[in-house]
Chains A and B, each alone.
Chain A
């Protein structure tokens, strides 16, 4: 179909009343692409401190029917997962990403949790993953595919539990892109980048919103606050110290 390729490009150029663009213009366009220049970022997601970022993320995620539990340490994650599954009347069985960042969690302390590591299969009911970033602007989780982070975990099981570390919180999508460009897997983007904002939903029958159309019915976020956010939470709770 190279014939069509040439024909389409030729048609475009003839519609634009020019030939191929000149080298100088081309260099300018290449520079525009390479610059990653940001367009307008909504004020709500710009210049937030750590605490504000977290508060906005939690508020926005809860608004779209995700549930959020805040923990002070990763050592409490396994207990929280067991509590959540029991509270939702779900079996204590889950498939977990073979993700090294989840290894530090003391899963063995909760022997009743049956955990398989790997990609999700059709029969899996609960999936557990980490995330790459959590975007405050709209309460959105950013997950990337990779050998340790298979995409099927995000979509096949009925329930998706996501562990978020507070140093993964960012303000806007563009902050997520920048992190990916500096600390991502390489030159090419990962095969899939999933921005997840609340559980799956549909309004295709009479505009009636129903959760769990094809993807997860439940999205539970376990947010681990680090010392800094916890300190700022405490500061915010305390009246300001007198300065005189």
Chain B
């Protein structure tokens, strides 16, 4: 997918001004966090499970080469095949080759963020193959030619009236006067429209939430059942995934599964958790004849051992996104690539480079909520700070900002000078603003005062008040 993360500031402004988006985000803001809280309150072991989840992922990354080879040998033993892809291009080519080998014309797709990452749909279309998204949210945005705005609820930026409008425009064979007032009606319509696509597709492509080295299996966690139809009905099943999804054993997957649904949707367990191992067996009555895994690296192997390795623990639950005050204000499209919110702000520059995504690590209030809800305890604020330092070091931030920051740093390293300047400034501003108690405009502070008033200082700095208090206290 083409990244427009560079335009983050403009994208964010557009998001704030979009009334439909703000209405949709209002619904999202309460739903996910509340349900998560309720689910976690019922599980006293949740904190201990987080700790275990973190150590399972850390252990796997420490021996990732071993576990990948082990995993591949098990996939082969069960009759499947692993296609290693260093780059998005290689991943797309691997999929295309498989599709061509069976003469595929249409492909049914379950939700896969890795497929978004490599821009698979666009690539298949260019090569004469029609991909049909089957997850309801993904289907809606495919009809609208939009990218997903959330990693588990791709159409979360839309209100139901927009979905109805899209269905009316695209499903032209249906009665134009039918009612589409309620989500139930749209859900039934999508179900009826998509069912023949599952049955006709030559190839089914899904993602994977986890890969299990012990058994050579891929695991998908879904609610709709579209992923299961996608990987059961077509002749060929392709799993689009990336190498950090690996865990050693089924027991390890069990621990992470207990964390995933609760952190994501607040469910105890998703409706469908499916473990797939190889193609159909000789005596089976259904299931795909071929089972392929396209295993993407795309820069992940370079993150191991560095300051962003912790990001590879991510299980894509979206808890950090759902709890982020920046995401819930501007929506996912503002981030300009596949992964939004705090996890996207760290992962995007890791995968597409700081030059293309340098603004994203600045999209944080550093409230720390993301780290506190992360099921595998990824230190997201710390890593966003690291990216900011790198952005500064690479001289990517605007000159005014850099000069200002350098000046401030120079003063801050000289406490005596700093205190004098702060004292002078606060007295001067306090005096200037003594009438209204706030400023509507101030030279050099336009970035602040353009959207809100700046409160005038009380006239004394905290340091000088504190020093005085200590003195009078001592006098007593």
**Footprint of B on A, CB under 8 Å?**
1-2, 4-5, 7-9, 11-13, 15-17, 20-21, 25-26, 29-30, 32-33, 36-40, 42-44, 60, 63-64, 98, 118-119, 122, 138-140, 145-147, 150-152, 154-156, 172-174, 177, 188-208, 210, 212-216
Chain A residue nearest in CB terms to B253: A173
Chain B residue nearest in CB terms to A190: B277
- Residue from A9, A172, A191, A208 in contact with B287 in the complex, judged by beta carbons closer than 8 Å: A191
Per the bound structure, the CA–CA distance linking A40 and B254 in Å amounts to 10
Nearest-Cβ distance from residue A191 to partner chain B, whole angstroms:
5
- Is B268 on the interface with A (CB-CB < 8 A)? yes
Q: Which residues on the B side are within 8 Å of A11 (C-beta)?
A: 297, 301-302
Contact B274 A150 (CB under 8 A): no
Q: Which residues on the B side are within 8 Å of A188 (C-beta)?
A: 77-78, 215, 277-278
Type the 1/0 row for B213-231, where 1 means its CB is closer than 8 Å to any CB of A.
1110100000111101101
Chain A residue nearest in CB terms to B80: A191
**Footprint of A on B, CB under 8 Å?**
24, 27-28, 31-32, 43-45, 48-49, 52, 56, 62-70, 77-78, 83-86, 90, 94, 134-137, 140, 153-156, 158-160, 163, 183-184, 186-188, 191, 194-195, 198-199, 213-215, 217, 223-226, 228-229, 231-233, 243, 248-252, 254-255, 257-258, 265, 267-281, 283-287, 297, 301-306
Contact A215 B65 (CB under 8 A): no
Chain A residue nearest in CB terms to B277: A189
Chain B residue nearest in CB terms to A44: B43
Nearest-Cβ distance from residue A125 to partner chain B, whole angstroms:
13
Nearest-Cβ distance from residue A218 to partner chain B, whole angstroms:
13
Q: Which residues on the A side are within 8 Å of B267 (C-beta)?
A: 64, 197
Q: Which residues on the A side are within 8 Å of B271 (C-beta)?
A: 64, 196-201, 215
Q: Which residues on the A side are within 8 Å of B83 (C-beta)?
A: 1
- Residue from B24, B84, B187, B276 in contact with A191 in the complex, judged by beta carbons closer than 8 Å: B276
Q: Shortest 10 CB-CB distances between A and B: which pairs? A: A215-B225, A213-B224, A204-B137, A147-B283, A11-B301, A15-B304, A5-B84, A205-B183, A138-B269, A195-B273
Q: Which residues on the B side are within 8 Å of A7 (C-beta)?
A: 86
Chain B residue nearest in CB terms to A119: B285
Per the bound structure, the CA–CA distance linking A146 and B281 in Å amounts to 8
Nearest-Cβ distance from residue B458 to partner chain A, whole angstroms:
45
Per the bound structure, the CA–CA distance linking A169 and B440 in Å amounts to 68
Q: Which residues on the A side are within 8 Å of B90 (C-beta)?
A: 1, 4
Q: Which residues on the B side are within 8 Å of A172 (C-beta)?
A: 254
Q: Which residues on the B side are within 8 Å of A206 (C-beta)?
A: 24, 27, 159-160, 183
Q: Can you give 14 A-B contacts (C-beta < 8 A)?
A: A2-B84, A16-B304, A98-B285, A119-B285, A173-B254, A189-B78, A197-B271, A198-B271, A202-B187, A205-B160, A206-B159, A206-B183, A207-B27, A214-B226
